[in-house]
Structure formats: C-alpha cells, structure tokens
Structure 1
Amino acid sequence: MKKEFAVIGLGRFGGSICKTLSEQGMEVLAIDMDEDKVNEFANIASHAVVGDSTDESVLKSLGIRNFDHVIVAIGANIQASILTTLILKELGVDNITVKAQNDYHEKVLTKIGANRIVHPERDMGRRIATNIVSNNVLDYLELSDEHSIVEIVANNRVNGHSLIDLDIRAKYGINIVAIKRGKEIIVSPQASEIIREGDILIVIGADVDINRFEKKVVG
C-alpha cells in the first residue's frame, strides 16, 4: 500500500526528499510559495502546488491531515517553519519531520510536538569530518549524541581473525551487526566468522568505544 507524503519547502533538502520519495513510487504532494520551484517539481511529484503553509486554510484545503507523513523542509525562515509545524499539529497530522536550522529552532520544534527533527547540514558535516579523519571509516550514521552506526574497512591487522578471536564485544563494548563482502552481506555474523581484508564491518555502539576499536584494531 502506497504511503502519502507532503513535502513543504522545495529547496535542496526538500527537493531531494521529494525526488527520492517519488522515485520509490510514493504519492507525494510538493508545496512551496515559489512558483518556479513548484513548476520544477510538477513532473516529479504526484501533485505540486503553490501555497503558503503558514495559512491554516491553505493546508486544510489540501487535506493535509490525511497524509501519512509531512516533511517541513522550509529553509531560512525559522518563523514560517515553526508556525507551519504548529498548524500541522493542530490539524492532527500524525507524523511530522522538520528541518531545524539551529539548536534553538530544535528546542521550539520539540516543545510544539514535531515527531522528528533533522539537521542535514550539521549531520553531513559530521559524516564528512569523520570520513576525512580516518581512512578506514566509509560512512557514519549518528543514532544519538553518544551512539552511532559506522562502516569500517577491515585491513591486514584483522585479516584471518574470527570475531571470537578478536573478542570485540567484551573488549570494546561494540557489536558488529553485519559484514559486507563484495556483493554479499552477512547479517548477524557468527562468532566463528573469519574477517578478510577489505571486508566492510558495520559496527554499532558508543562513539568513544567505536573510536577506540578503530584506532587500536583497524586503524
């Protein structure tokens, strides 16, 4: 069953979400006050409309409460972002994801009931910085302020060793939840699984423990 999404704000972030959801076959309503942006997405989204999301009557006329998920991707106008989110909550939208500009913006969005708040620029900056610092880290996904999922490339230090040999969980307090080996993905690998040089280890745990593992064992 297709889910219905509404994306409010068609800048780089909102536009990227709109395109990706549409490519995945979802029903997408694209909304922006800029007619040129709306025209750009007319053939991408299921529906694209010019509208002011801070006007409750506009959102009501679009039947916004009937959508499974609404993404508020408004750019620099923090006031419009907050007011839009508040109206969506009052109209009874169940799932609202909002792009935050800064920590203050996030605090306000949390208080008014946004279900999920994202910082795309900050998060991407962290991912890039992490990748630059270590040649072994391919990707990085922050789960919380202190925990992450990281993709680490196995080198010759761990080549030929099994997970039980390395005793990673006991020594470092982290878990290898999967191993990518070429096109093969080994989910929940057995303790006897032998690691090969070039394997991509998908590791979950506290940032401090992952860093310790990466430096001492792989780095």
Structure 2
Amino acid sequence: MARSSRTFAVIGLGAFGTTVAQELARSGSHVMGIDLDEQRVTRVASSLSSTAILDTTDENALRDVGIGQFDVALVAIGRDIQASILTTMNLRMLGVETIWVKASNKTHHRILSKLGADRVILPEQEVGRHVAQMLRNAALQDYVSLGNGFSVVNIVAPEHLDGKGLEALELGEKYDLQLLGVMRGSEFRRGNEPDLELATDDRLILLGKRAELQRFGDAL
C-alpha cells in the first residue's frame, strides 16, 4: 500500500481517537498515537507508526516528541475540556500546520474555534444528523456534507426508472441538481453519458443543495 506523505498525531486514544488513528494507519499514513493512559497506548502500539505516553498540556513534553514536525494533529481528548483547550494551544504554539479537535459541547466548540482550531468536531451530533438523513429516506445510501448547504448523496434508483434514460431524472429542469455519476455494482459510469440507461438498484451520485436533494429523494 502506498504511504501517504502527510503525517498525523492523534492525541486521546479513547474509542473515537483510536478509530481515527487506526483507519489512518490502515491507509498507509504515518501516525503517532498519544495518551496519558498507558493501557490505551499499549492497546494500539502495534498498529501505529509510533506512540507516546505523556501529558499533552505540558508544552515541553510535546516538543520533546517532535510534535511540530507533524502535518496534522487531531485532539480527541474526551471529557477533560481544560486539557483539550491547553493541548490545542500548545499545538498551535509548536507549529502544527493543521489542527482538528473533538468538542464535548457547543461552548467547548466556540472556545476551540476562537483558539484557531482548523476544524472542530462534535461527533455525536454529526453522526446523529447523518443517521437522521438515512432514516428519513429509504433510498438514501449515504451522503457527505460539503458545507454552505451543499451535499453529495448516494441514492438507489427505484424499479420505475429501469431502462429509462437520464432525462427521466429531470435534473436541471425540475430539480436543480447535478448527476456526478452512476455506480452499477463495481462499475462507474459518468453522469454526462448521453446514451446511459438506468437500471434498478443503480446508485445515483448527486450534488446539490440539501433541500433540493431531499425533494428529489421524496419524489422517487
């Protein structure tokens, strides 16, 4: 597997941090896992590039492990808001280029944003919104929010579209959406192929505003 050129430090090896660290490592990235809890570090040591047991509120301790050389740091510290804030401040002072931080609540989110975190994550809320969208429309297989109200969604084509051309979707006419492509099993077809006929269970990959995507999904 090709190794990613970006390097990552994941601070806080609870369930969330461990999942992110191990997924990054599986993709070939260089990942250092950091936690104050020795047992947590021991559990992931064999699957990451390197690990460290240290207090990340201590600027000197972070400097000693070369944290400033990492391209991206994720602060995934759980309930200890003070430790999360101090760690974020230390990472910024030590020159980490990109900092993502897990927040515990909206107040924590606001503080981290003011400290200059590049992205603040509220995992429970983000997953909750994702699940709600999936439950709302049985045809919706997955979606990714792009910000500013835009999303990319994966919608299963129903039986009544079988054998019909792309014009049957009425995109650009009735719906202000763009078809990026169609997945048929493991085959990808571009959304601008004029002779493409749809088949039942094709996965339509669509780009557009969330409200318009919902309107299209409801009509299917």
TM-score range, shorter chain: over 0.9
Q: Does 1:124 align with 2:127?
A: yes
Q: What RMSD over aligned residues (CA atoms) do the two structures have, in Å?
A: 1.6
Which residue does 2:72 correspond to in 1?
A: 69
Q: Does 1:30 align with 2:30?
A: no
Q: Secondary structure at the match of 1:109?
A: helix
Hey, which bits of structure 1, 4+ residues long, moved more than 6 A? none
* CA distance in structure 2 between the partners assigned to 1:180 and 1:60 by the alignment: 47
Amino acid at match of 1:172: Y
Q: Is the 8 A contact 1:164 1:191 kept in 2?
A: no
Q: Does 1:101 align with 2:125?
A: no
Q: Secondary structure at the match of 2:31?
A: strand
* CA distance in structure 2 between the partners assigned to 1:190 and 1:100 by the alignment: 44
* CA distance in structure 1 between the partners assigned to 2:42 and 2:206 by the alignment: 43
Amino acid at match of 1:119: L
* CA distance in structure 1 between the partners assigned to 2:160 and 2:136 by the alignment: 19
**TM-score normalised to structure 1 length:** 0.92
Amino acid at match of 1:194: E
Superposed, which structure 2 residues align to 1:198-213 within 5 Å?
Answer: 198-213=201-216
Q: Secondary structure at the match of 1:141?
A: strand
Quickly say closer, same or farther: Cα 1:165–1:74, change in 2 above 3 A.
Answer: same
String of CA shifts for 1:83-102, please: whole Å, max 9, x gaps.
11111111111111111222
Matching residue within 39, 54, 59 for 2:57: 54
Superposed, which structure 2 residues align to 1:110-149 within 5 Å?
Answer: 110-144=113-147, 146-149=149-152
Q: Secondary structure at the match of 1:179?
A: strand
* CA distance in structure 1 between the partners assigned to 2:166 and 2:21 by the alignment: 41
Quickly say closer, same or farther: Cα 1:147–1:103, change in 2 above 3 A.
Answer: farther
> Which stretch of the first structure deviates more once superposed, 113-122 or 12-21?
113-122
* CA distance in structure 1 between the partners assigned to 2:12 and 2:205 by the alignment: 34
Quickly say closer, same or farther: Cα 1:172–1:69, change in 2 above 3 A.
Answer: same
User: 1:145: how far off?
Assistant: 6.0
Quickly say closer, same or farther: Cα 1:134–1:166, change in 2 above 3 A.
Answer: closer
Quickly say closer, same or farther: Cα 1:118–1:189, change in 2 above 3 A.
Answer: farther
Which residue does 1:215 correspond to in 2?
A: 218
Which residue does 1:154 correspond to in 2?
A: 157
> Which stretch of the first structure deviates more once superposed, 172-181 or 156-165?
156-165
String of CA shifts for 1:74-115, please: whole Å, max 9, x gaps.
111122112111111111111111112222222222211111
How many pairs are equivalent?
217
The unaligned stretches of length 5 or more in structure 1 are: none
The unaligned stretches of length 5 or more in structure 2 are: none
> Which stretch of the first structure deviates more once superposed, 156-165 or 121-130?
156-165
**TM-score normalised to structure 2 length:** 0.92
* CA distance in structure 2 between the partners assigned to 1:100 and 1:148 by the alignment: 23
* CA distance in structure 2 between the partners assigned to 1:102 and 1:147 by the alignment: 24
* Percent of paired sites with the same residue: 38
Q: Secondary structure at the match of 1:214?
A: helix
